[in-house]
């Protein structure tokens, strides 16, 4: 049914999340009463997910701020190599590269918009799968 409804990411995220929470619960069960073991396992899972999400956002922010600096340092060497190997580059400096990339994005705005929608839908499906797994685990 998940394949017919194109919910593969949601199903996989839900199954993986449920399994991870269940493993944590089984490790905690010998030391805590059942309800507390479930609650602690779920809290640990949510904490790990929040930390992972925070790390991912931080990585993206740092990457996006570091790319211009990296390009400024690499561009002279890149141009030297292009001259040495007689490759004609469609840009001359970092600003030319930026203009070229913006032009490419303008030409392909429909594809970029579609890819953004697919990514958003996929992340939403994964979030719903994780939520369903957590609810299913607590109801068990």
Domain boundaries, the chain: 8-139
CA–CA dist 64, 68 (Å, integer): 8
Beta carbons of 39 and 140 less than 8 angstroms apart: no
Residue 140 predicted with pLDDT over 80: no
Q: What is the pTM of this model?
A: 0.73
pLDDT at residue 41, rounded to an integer: 95
pLDDT at residue 62, rounded to an integer: 95
Q: Which residue has the higher pLDDT, 54 or 85?
A: 54
pLDDT at residue 43, rounded to an integer: 96
Beta carbons of 24 and 140 less than 8 angstroms apart: no
Non-local (6+) Cβ contacts of 89 within 8 A are: 78, 79, 82
Beta carbons of 35 and 138 less than 8 angstroms apart: no
pLDDT in tens, 70-114: 888 888 888 888 888 888 888 777 788 888 888 888 888 888 899
């Amino acid at each position: 049914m998940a394949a017919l409804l194109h919910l593969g990411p949601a199903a996989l995220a839900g199954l993986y999340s449920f399994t991870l929470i269940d493993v944590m619960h089984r490790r905690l069960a010998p030391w805590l009463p059942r309800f507390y073991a479930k609650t602690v396992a779920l809290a640990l899972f949510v904490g790990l997910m929040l930390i992972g999400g925070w790390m991912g956002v931080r990585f993206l922010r740092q990457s996006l701020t570091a790319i211009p600096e990296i390009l400024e340092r690499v561009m002279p060497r890149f141009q030297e190599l292009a001259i040495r190997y007689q490759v004609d580059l469609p840009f001359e400096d970092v600003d030319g590269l930026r203009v070229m990339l913006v032009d490419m994005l303008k030409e392909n705005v429909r594809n970029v918009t579609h890819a953004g929608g697919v990514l958003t839908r996929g992340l939403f499906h994964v979030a719903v799968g994780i939520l369903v797994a957590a609810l299913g685990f607590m109801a068990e």
